[in-house]
Amino acid sequence: MQWEVVIGLEIHAQLATRSKIFSGASTAYGAEPNRQACAVDLGLPGVLPVLNAEAVAMAVKFGLAVNAEIAPRSVFARKNYFYPDLPKGYQISQYELPIVGKGRLRIDLEDGTGKEVGITRAHLEEDAGKSLHEDYHGLTGIDLNRAGTPLLEIVSEPDMRSAAEAVAYAKKMHSLVRYLEICDGNMQEGSFRCDANVSIRPKGQAALGTRAELKNINSFRFLERAILFEVERQIDVIEGGGEVVQETRLYDSAKNETRSMRSKEEANDYRYFPDPDLLPVEITAELLQSGRASLPELPDAKRERFGAEYGLSDYDAAVLTASRELADYFESVVANASDAKLAANWVMGDLSGALNKAGLDITASPVSADSLGGMLRRIADNTISGKIAKQVFEALWAGETDADAVIEAKGLVQITDSGAIEAVIDEILAANPSQIEQYRAGKTKMLGFFVGQVMKVTQGKANPGQVNEILKKRLDG
Ligand code: ADP
Ligand code: MG
């Protein structure tokens, strides 16, 4: 039997407002427990929620960015359930009338293909507090700092057909909310959380299979692993004669498995009803207008522009526009160095490699765009070779800022004087007559030997193009 995988994602993006969605308490991360929970967040009697306009503006911005219908009127509803970290006994969310309706997001896959994933809806809601099960000797601590933090829950259509597509979607969404500056995207701190709904069905069957919802996934790598594990599990269950049950499963990254957490509740278990404490949210034409005006250049548009303006391949353009910060860095380098292809190669190659190795983000790069641009100018004008540039780059990485000063201090200027290069070549040819014979007898690979010798003598500083050219002439002539 051939199985087809079907995945839909629910992403909770914590909106980057300074205060909570219905109260004035701070949303800053990392405070002492319960220091940032006010009477509203604690659910004390007699208090009333007041909607944070900034959260609404952010949801609108998101909706516009994914070409979604923005509901002119949306309604907050109470989702009733009991949990110790939810003191009111209900979560304020949106149910029948969410603020953002159907939209779509383009994703690009590593094999160069792409597709559009449908967005079902995105709604505003408040986060719950946190239950702390460790460190309390058999008791549970409750921290309500997170209670009332604004979330945008983004629900996708079940349009993804592999773990790789799900990861591509999640990454693209992550990139988008960061471009829009509506979410900091920090997955470790839980600012961007991904639940994956996974089912399988026989290839060719139209009806969807029964899904399991996977929770507790806090990185893209775990998202991929959790889905891969779950797909295998479901195949085993069905092929073993069993049935997949609709349930919520917890991903355990240490064991790389999913385990049943609870059977899936139905919507009617929550007794949703419109929250009488809150007015419907009306989106005015002005709000839409200012939302549109506040949109930055979005990832897809930037990527296309990078292709057209800098002549980059689609792949390079995609890598460089994955985050706004990386794209900005690249553009500053180009502004300094003008050779876009060279800049792309260095930013995606040596610089990204060094950043990865050091676990640093582009915003924390020890090499500024100015410094890198300065070095690339010297490659472009032939002052240094690309190979020697690696030494200059190392010095910049270690704290130097001016490539010219490094080149000067280390004596790295490229030898481009053909007379000087010829003199070295003469010496080497004279010292290696048997290798010349081999070359002339047809072993043209010996050219590499001679180039290597010249580079050794000149400490890598001879211009490689000229070395090759002169050597060939001399050996063939
Ligand atoms: P709920 O609110 O109970 O979680 P929804 O109908 O809102 O349920 O769906 C949640 C997510 O599950 C959506 O992203 C949707 O695309 C996805 N989904 C629904 N059915 C399936 C299925 N059979 N297989 C995979 N994903 C599914
Ligand atoms: Mg759900």
Q: Is the CB of 8 under 6 A from ligand 1?
A: yes
Ligand nearest to the CA of 206: 1
pTM of this structure: 0.87
Which atom of ligand 1 is least distant from the CA of 157?
16
- Identify the pLDDT of residue 110: 82
Provide φ and ψ at 177, rounded to 5°: -65, -30
| Strand order from edge to edge, sheet including 76-80 | 90-94, 76-80, 273-274
Domain boundary among 388, 410, 432: 410
Q: Which residues surround ligand 2, an ion (CB under 5 A)?
A: 10
- Identify the pLDDT of residue 387: 87
Number of structural domains the chain divides into: 3
pLDDT in tens, 169-225: 999 999 999 999 999 999 989 999 999 999 999 999 999 999 999 999 999 999 999
- Ligand 1: centre distance to CA 197 (Å): 6
Domain boundary among 385, 410, 435: 410
**280 and 201 in a common domain:** yes
- 252 half-sphere exposure, CB direction, 13 A CA radius: 7
Q: Is the CB of 208 under 6 A from ligand 1?
A: yes
For residue 463, pLDDT beyond 80: yes
Domain boundary among 291, 317, 338: 291
- Identify the pLDDT of residue 412: 85
pLDDT in tens, 62-94: 999 999 999 999 999 999 999 999 999 999 999
For residue 266, pLDDT beyond 80: no
Q: Are the C-beta atoms of residues 65 and 180 closer than 8 Å to each other?
A: yes
Q: Is the CB of 155 under 6 A from ligand 1?
A: yes
Which atom of ligand 1 is least distant from the CA of 199?
24
- Other CB atoms within a 10 A radius of the CB of residue 381 amount to 10
**287 and 303 in a common domain:** no
**218 and 70 in a common domain:** yes
For residue 399, pLDDT beyond 90: yes
Q: Which long-range contacts (CB under 8 A, 24 or more apart) does 113-116 make?
A: 115/159, 115/165, 116/159
Which atom of ligand 1 is least distant from the CA of 267?
3
Closest C-alpha residue for ligand 1 atom 7: 155
- CA max distance for the chain: 98
**286 and 256 in a common domain:** yes
Q: Are the C-beta atoms of residues 462 and 413 closer than 8 Å to each other?
A: no
**Is the model more confident about 61 or about 382?**
61
- For residues 19-29, give the mean pLDDT: 96
**162 and 145 in a common domain:** yes
**362 and 239 in a common domain:** no
**353 and 424 in a common domain:** no
426 is in which domain, residue-wise? 418-476
- Identify the pLDDT of residue 369: 97
- Identify the pLDDT of residue 269: 86
